[in-house]
Every structure is written in C-alpha cells, then in structure tokens.
C-alpha cells in the first residue's frame, strides 16, 4: 500500500475549551515492534478526550499527544514482529491516544476484527466502551446472570453498552439518566427501569423495585455525593465499581454498611493498563461480546457523526450532555 508522507490530524494546541482542538498536518506515525499502522476511517469521541483537552488527563508515557482512544479502519502497514494481522484487514482498535488522525498506530493485540454486519462508524464507537464495561462490570464487578446492575449515566457511551451487555448476558438492569426522555431511552436500550435522577430519588426507586434488597453491582461514573447513596442501593455482598467521578473524587461514606453488607468497593482506569492486559481483554471481548453484536443483541448507538475537522463541535455536543450513545468522527 502506497503511504503518504503526511496526514491530517486534530491536535490540542493548549489546555482549554473545544476551540483548542485545531486541524494540523503531521508526519505519519511509524509502527513500532508489535504495532500496526491503521488508515483511520472513523474515530470514537469519549468523555476522557474532553478531560485530556482540558488538561486533566495526560496521555501515558510513550502515547501520542493527539486525542482519540478508539478507531476503525484498515491496516496500512505492519511493524516488526506482528503476527495475526495482514495489510488490508479491517479492524477496530483500542488506543492510548492518537485516534483523531488519518493514520494511527495500535499495538496488534488491541485490534479486533470488525464485528459482523457493522460499518466503520459503528465499529469505531466500540473499543473504549466495550473494554471499559467488560473489565469493570464483569471482571471487577463479577456481575452474574440473574444478578442486578445499577448503571449511572445510562445514556452515555459507556452506559448504552453496559445496559445492553448486562441484559444480553441475563442480568436485571436499572439505569439513571437526566430527564424523562433519557430515562425512556435507557428502557429502549433494554433497562428494566430507567430512572430520571432529576425528578426521582434513585435510592428510593432501587429499594422499591428490588423489594428493599438492593442491587448486586453499581457501575458509577458520578462519585462525590453519589457514593453514600450507591452504598445504600447495594444488596449484601454487593460490588461498587468506580470508573469516573463527574461530581468529584472525594466522598464521605459510612463504613458500617460496608462491614454489615460485606461490600466490595473497586474501580479501574483502562488507558494506563499494559498492552498484555488490554490484549487479554480483547480476546475475552472477541469471545464473549462480538457474537452478541453479530446477532444484534448488542448494537452500537450512534447519536451523531462529525467530520474530523469539526472535532470541536463534537466536543461541544458531548459537554452539553445532549447526546444519547456515541459521537464519532469520520475521516
């Protein structure tokens, strides 16, 4: 494949608002040992990209300074020591950065074949959310079929996949979201009960729908004052999984219910984990999640697409929280 010398990118010129995302031209990245070069056709936008743009979520050492944690496209070149992939293969990939560009490098183990029946935009919307949901809800949270899950931010990119995946694997799912329309959207995604947190007390609703027992797992991206309320929502032996803290990293909690209900408080971040860990996750996802996507039990929810050059508009939409599902850049 003939490769150009340079590529279009969107870079973060300085920490700040959406307008610091500026189109530029850069040399193509060179795939290192064990890496592939992907010609990007679509790149998912995630809330962590917004935090990075604001200066609060720096790329890990060695990662591209460009935003973009997930892409779909075709493999354009192989670095040394890559097995299992060929030039021309259609893939989606989890990145530690660099997705807002015509070309991006990815460790080969973090690439997955396009799920059957999906286009590039749909495929690009998956890696960051599916990896995050799989490792947090099912590995750390240990959600089992027949158990119940409370997802906050049910219409977020993460929430829309968490609801569908947990339902597809046989769990009962409750999801919070801001406003009646979003609560209904959670139910359309499969939630047994969408909770409009602006007009309903989610703790009271969870107690009512579970006959006061509570849920087995809470997936939390809100933090702050949600912590004691989440703990209130957990059943004996419940697991609380933190993936973000949109309302702040500090919380005051009563330790008594942790002992009395034998609760587990855990959490994780995806970006900083090793290639080996992400590769193991990719294999589990290909085995357990890709077949559910192929039969339509789990579908990417695409709210909007923007051309790469309009990344600032994509970020503005994300920060307005007006979206349901994912926002994707096209190239």
Ligand X SMILES: NC(=O)c1ccc[n+]([C@@H]2O[C@H](COP(=O)([O-])OP(=O)(O)OC[C@H]3O[C@@H](n4cnc5c(N)ncnc54)[C@H](OP(=O)(O)O)[C@@H]3O)[C@@H](O)[C@H]2O)c1
Task: Give contact residues for ligand X (rule: CB under 6 A).
Answer: 46-48, 128, 132, 153, 155-158, 177-178, 182, 221-222, 243-244, 246-247, 268-270, 318, 321
DSSP 3-state assignment of 94? strand
- Contact between 22 and 65 under an 8 Å Cβ cutoff? The reply is no
Q: CA-to-CA distance for 235 and 186, rounded, in angstroms? A: 22
Closest by CA to 97, choosing from 17, 11, 216, is 11
Residue 114, C-beta contacts closer than 8 angstroms, at least 6 positions apart: 72, 90, 91, 92, 120, 123
Least spacing, CB of residue 158 vs ligand X, in Å: 4
Q: Which is nearer to ligand X, 74 or 268 (CB)?
A: 268
Kindly state the smallest distance separating residue 177's Cβ from ligand X, in Å: 4
Q: Which two tokens stand for residue 49?
A: 């990209």
Nearer to ligand X, 42 or 75 (CB): 42
DSSP string computed for 189-231: TT-SEEEETTTS-HHHHHHHHTTTS-EEEEEES--TTHHHHHH
CB nearer to ligand X: pick between 268 and 330: 268
Nearer Cβ to ligand X (132/210): 132
Question: Minimum distance from CB of 167 to ligand X (Å)?
Answer: 18
Q: Please give the Cα distance from 104 to 291 (Å, whole number).
A: 27
* Least distance in angstroms from the C-beta of 178 to ligand X: 3
- 39 vs 323, beta carbon nearer ligand X: 323
Nearer to ligand X, 246 or 251 (CB): 246
Minimum separation from the CB atom of position 87 to ligand X (A) = 30
In whole angstroms, the minimum distance from the beta carbon of 253 to ligand X comes to 18
Q: Find out whether 77 and 36 touch, Cβ atoms under 8 Å.
A: yes
| Token pair of 245 as six digits | 């803290």
29/6 Cα distance (integer angstroms): 9
Between 41 and 128, name the residue whose CB sits nearer to ligand X.
128
322: which DSSP letter? -
Residue nearest to ligand X (CB): 156
Query: Residue 116: phi, psi to the nearest 5?
Result: -50, 130
Q: How far is the CB of 139 from ligand X (least distance, A)?
A: 12
């Amino acid at each position: 494949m003939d490769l150009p010398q340079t590529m279009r990118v969107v870079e973060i010129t300085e920490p700040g608002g959406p307008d610091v995302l500026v189109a530029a031209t850069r040399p193509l990245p060179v795939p290192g040992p064990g890496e592939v070069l992907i010609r990007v056709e679509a790149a998912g936008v995630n809330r962590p990209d917004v935090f990075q743009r604001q200066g609060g979520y720096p790329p890990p050492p060695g990662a591209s300074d460009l935003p973009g944690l997930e892409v779909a496209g075709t493999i354009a070149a192989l670095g040394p020591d890559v097995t299992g992939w060929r030039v021309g293969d259609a893939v989606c990939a989890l990145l530690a950065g660099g997705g807002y560009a015509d070309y991006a490098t990815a460790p080969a183990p973090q690439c997955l074949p396009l799920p059957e029946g999906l286009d590039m935009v749909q495929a690009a919307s998956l890696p960051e959310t599916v990896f995050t949901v799989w490792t947090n809800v099912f590995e750390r949270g240990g959600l089992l079929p027949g158990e119940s899950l409370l997802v906050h931010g049910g219409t977020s990119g993460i929430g829309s996949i968490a609801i569908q995946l947990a339902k597809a694997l046989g769990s009962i799912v409750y999801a919070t979201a801001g406003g009646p329309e979003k609560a209904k959207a959670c139910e359309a995604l499969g939630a047994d009960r969408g909770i409009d947190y602006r007009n309903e007390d989610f703790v009271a609703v969870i107690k009512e729908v579970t006959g006061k027992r509570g849920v087995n797992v809470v997936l939390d991206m809100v933090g702050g004052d949600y912590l004691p309320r989440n703990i209130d929502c957990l059943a004996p032996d419940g697991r609380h999984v933190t993936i973000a803290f949109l309302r702040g990293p500090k919380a005051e909690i009563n330790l008594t219910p942790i002992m009395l209900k034998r609760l587990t408080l855990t959490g994780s971040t995806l970006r900083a984990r090793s290639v080996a860990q992400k590769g193991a996750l990719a294999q589990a996802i290909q085995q357990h999640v890709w077949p559910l996507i192929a039969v339509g039990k789990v579908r990417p929810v695409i709210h909007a697409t923007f051309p790469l050059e309009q990344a600032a508009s994509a970020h503005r939409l994300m920060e307005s929280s007006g979206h349901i599902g994912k926002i994707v850049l096209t190239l």
